[in-house]
Amino acid sequence: MNVSLIQIGASFGEMLMSEDAINWTLIPKSEDQQEMYSFASDGNGTVVCVGGKWGRMGPAVYTKDPTLMNWKQGTIDIANIYLHDVVYSNKRKMFVAVGDLSANPDYAGVMVSKDGIAWKSVYNVSHDYEGKVTSVTYSEELDIFYAVGNGIYYSGDGFAWTRIDDSKYPSKLDRVHWLTGIHLSPKRFVIVGNYNIVWVSTDQGKTWTQTGPK
């Protein structure tokens, strides 16, 4: 099967695949698999889906099966973590995922894996700011990772991360107002969040302006 599209759902961990975006096939899952949020592929046969539900069948599952019918659970060095998003860097040859402990503010941060199987925590944002990390992206053109949540974080290698100072944000972030997505291009970075947050940078992240509804 030449799978070109994968769709995943949150509440019960459904994963679907399609060759034409019209006809979809349900991908088998473990009975314990819960809440899958995002997926990424290395382009060489490994597909990773991330999510989590109180540590059950998660937070990362992977497959090397070209039919996508056989999945296994990866290993991770933090229990009971929810991983919200995952991205693969072809240049760096690594997966990077972000997540948190949901109701527990002791950990929210970044996990990395070279093979999509074994995962390691490399940055805990809660050490410097209580919050969560909801989205991560990577630009092959700029060779840089960005992650957002209750702040903006960036990394050149996926291991060492820096938080952009709050004074550079167009508006205040807190437990109610946070960032949910980011897109990078050489000419424009765009971040979105709840409560009408739309931040744009035209100087590759040095300065940000609010462009959405006030």
pLDDT along the chain (214 residues), means of 10: 46 58 63 69 87 58 74 80 91 94 70 92 76 90 95 96 92 85 96 93 95 72
The per-residue pLDDT for 1 is: 41
Q: Which of 134, 137, 199 is nearest to 168 (CA)?
A: 199
The per-residue pLDDT for 29 is: 57
pTM assigned to the model: 0.84
Superfamily for the 5-210 domain: YVTN repeat-like/Quinoprotein amine dehydrogenase (2.130.10.10)
- Count of all residues that appear for the chain in the document: 214
Q: Are 74 and 117 in contact (CB under 8 A)?
A: yes
CA distances from 127 to 99, 105, 107, 132, 154 (A): 14, 10, 8, 12, 16
The per-residue pLDDT for 22 is: 65
Which residues lie closer than 8 Å to 139 by C-beta, 6 or more apart? Answer: 146, 184, 185, 186
User: Can you tell me the distance from the alpha carbon of 54 to that of 11, in angstroms, rounded to the nearest whole number?
Assistant: 13
The per-residue pLDDT for 75 is: 85
Domain edges within the chain: 5-210
